[in-house]
Amino acid sequence: METEIEKKSNIIKTVFYVLCSLLLVFMTYYAVMSALGPGRKIAEINNEYGYKVPENSKTDERIFSDSVFKSINREKSFYQARVLMAESDSICLALNLSDSTAVLEIEGVSVHKAKISEITVSKVFRKANEYSVTSMLATPFAIMNDYSTIRKEPVMIKMAPKDTSEYKPDILPDTTNSEAVNYIFEMSNGTRLYVYQNLEENKGDKLNRFKFDLNDRLRNFRHNLKSIIDLKVSEYHPSIRIYLAKADAKIIYRALPKHGLISVFW
């Protein structure tokens, strides 16, 4: 009897050790494959947007490290992106990370300006070649998808009046004032813009942000897991995270069209 119990115990231990070993191998593989993503993204940016030397000509590469050239080149790229946005005839967003402002524009005219209280940018933008990043920003980002804690368009349920005597004008408070405002814009080039309200105005705002970030991490995990199972390097998404006043964050989210354009000055 004791021998059988001991055999079962040894089998259970063996199975446990095998499972732990497999889990450790998978976690190591997952970590390695995920870590390769940023490096590959940097290489993609450098290859696609890096300076191409014209044939039969020479370029003094020292100019790319000149502070004046870099400053002028950044401004040029930002203006080029804004000109392209102005041609779209729709509301667009211009993010100036240098002076911490977010401006809604239509045909190049500012219609709403908001102050950014905090900015976090992925290291990929700093580790990639500066000229390449600046060239990439010369074209505005197009929004392909978004995730948000609020509706794009508020929904109002209203009973139709039986006659004119029962008609009442729509003087109703915005019930979404009680909702936390956090959202993500996924761009056409893989970049993601995270926008958060900068203060916890209501009791559940901090919990709401935690759940919002948790859902984003789970989406990324599922995507990375699928890539790894297919023996592919996980696609890395450089991010820009900004914090705005709640009212400004809400205005920007609802003002931008479904496939709106965003330009960035860094």
| All domains in the chain, ordered by first residue | 2-51+62-158+176-265 (2.40.440.10)
Mean residue pLDDT of the chain comes to: 84
239-244/192-197 β-pairing = parallel
- Which of 62-66, 161-165, 170-174, 259-263 shows the lowest per-residue confidence on average (mean pLDDT)? 170-174
Tokens matching residue 181? 């405002």
Closest by alpha carbon to 265, among 165, 133, 143?
133
Residues 6+ apart with CB under 8 A from 95: 101, 102, 103, 116, 193, 240, 242, 262, 263, 264, 265
The whole-number pLDDT of residue 11 equals 76
| Residue 164 pLDDT greater than 60, yes or no | no
Q: CA–CA separation, 255 vs 238, rounded Å?
A: 24
pLDDT tens for residues 97-146?
999 999 999 999 999 999 999 999 999 998 999 999 999 999 999 999 99
pLDDT band at 167 (very low <50, low <70, confident <90, very high): very low
| Residue 26 pLDDT greater than 70, yes or no | no
pLDDT band at 162 (very low <50, low <70, confident <90, very high): low
- Average pLDDT of 252-257? 96
The whole-number pLDDT of residue 171 equals 47
- Which of 9-18, 19-28, 31-40, 163-172 shows the lowest per-residue confidence on average (mean pLDDT)? 163-172
